[in-house]
Structure 1
């Protein structure tokens, strides 16, 4: 795991792959809880029997936004940012879902530092992300995730 303590250490990583998380399994229980939290109970996510017979996927699939919501958790396995007052999810850019994630699939996050902007104190960091699906060529998604870091003085 990479540790970053300040702007200069971040800046040294521009253009570099920062790392890859461990594999994370998405279960039906998690999909169902996400459906409850978001009020999105579409059968392709929550009805395994119907999905098995009627869906082109042959099984339920994770919500796209469920896969996206894993970014903060998986990111913490890749980089430890120290000496912070605060960190904020700032934005998502150039984002595309590439392939459905079937229930019980394993995914992992791959991150490259695309760029940094010093906002006279806070730092805006753009991470180029790919959520890979184990044993699949196409990723679940690709896109740029933007965080703002407020380092201690």
Structure 2
């Protein structure tokens, strides 16, 4: 029963109670006036446009989003995960960022800037007191940090394929010093279902062990196919 139907049911019940009092034949003027006021107010309220639309505010958002979707796996996944929006859905393990990892990333990408690859100069000249990781190195570790590439423990086991669609609003608020350990926390932001897939947006925050500072924030966009 939606809200509009509920209101009408209560209105019918109230009218029945009023009629049972046989107010038309009563000699109490005030009681007859009360009867007229209640009846008139109910008619005005039920004919008001906002009442006819009020169910839109209480209608399940999942039902609206799923209009036209017939794939039962898409529907089941969307309804299960829609309840988790704005909730933490994953907290990863700590991963060490040592100089060896930084050097290998520099070799692959060609970014050999001294603040990343020259420990002696970094200790002498860098305001960080040593080398720091590339921001893009931290970004490239998101699949590992969020455990989304673990074939033995996939985060979305019912999906037959997961496609990385990109990142939104990537920021590196603070640097990661060499020797630090980092981990990622994932919060579900939104879901958009379609005929064969569900698009997921997760906010990922990477933090440093022993500090309250967040070193990377990014919205990850994934598409799950069923």
Q: Does TM, scored on the shorter chain, surpass 0.5?
A: yes
Q: How does 1:91-102 map to 2 (within 5 A)?
A: 91-102=166-177
Q: Which of 8, 23, 27 is residue 94 of structure 2 equivalent to?
A: 23
What is the rounded CA distance, in whole Å, between the counterparts of 1:149 and 1:8 in structure 2? 14
Give the C-alpha shift of residue 69 in structure 1.
1.0
Tell me the residue number matched to 1:136: 211
Q: Which of 172, 190, 194 is residue 119 of structure 1 equivalent to?
A: 194
Unaligned runs of 5+ in 2: 1-75
Whether the 8 Å CA contact 2:90–2:146 is kept in 1: the answer is no
Tell me the residue number matched to 1:42: 113
Give the structure-2-normalised TM-score: 0.61
What is the SS of the residue equivalent to 2:100?
Answer: helix
What is the SS of the residue equivalent to 1:81?
Answer: coil
Give the structure-1-normalised TM-score: 0.89
Tell me the residue number matched to 1:67: 138
What is the rounded CA distance, in whole Å, between the counterparts of 2:134 and 2:197 in structure 1? 33
Tell me the residue number matched to 1:7: 78
Higher strand proportion (structure 1 or 2): 1
Higher helix proportion (structure 1 or 2): 2
Q: Which of 145, 155, 159 is residue 84 of structure 1 equivalent to?
A: 159
Give the C-alpha shift of residue 91 in structure 1.
1.6
Tell me the residue number matched to 1:51: 122
What is the rounded CA distance, in whole Å, between the counterparts of 1:16 and 1:136 in structure 2? 22
What is the rounded CA distance, in whole Å, between the counterparts of 2:212 and 2:155 in structure 1? 29
Give the C-alpha shift of residue 6 in structure 1.
3.0
Tell me the residue number matched to 1:32: 103
What is the rounded CA distance, in whole Å, between the counterparts of 1:63 and 1:15 in structure 2? 29
How many aligned residue pairs are there? 147
Tell me the residue number matched to 1:104: 179
What is the SS of the residue equivalent to 2:161?
Answer: strand
Q: CA RMSD in A?
A: 1.7
What is the rounded CA distance, in whole Å, between the counterparts of 2:215 and 2:192 in structure 1? 28
Give the C-alpha shift of residue 80 in structure 1.
1.9
What is the SS of the residue equivalent to 1:34?
Answer: helix
Whether the 8 Å CA contact 1:15–1:113 is kept in 2: the answer is yes
**Pair 1:145-2:211 in alignment:** no
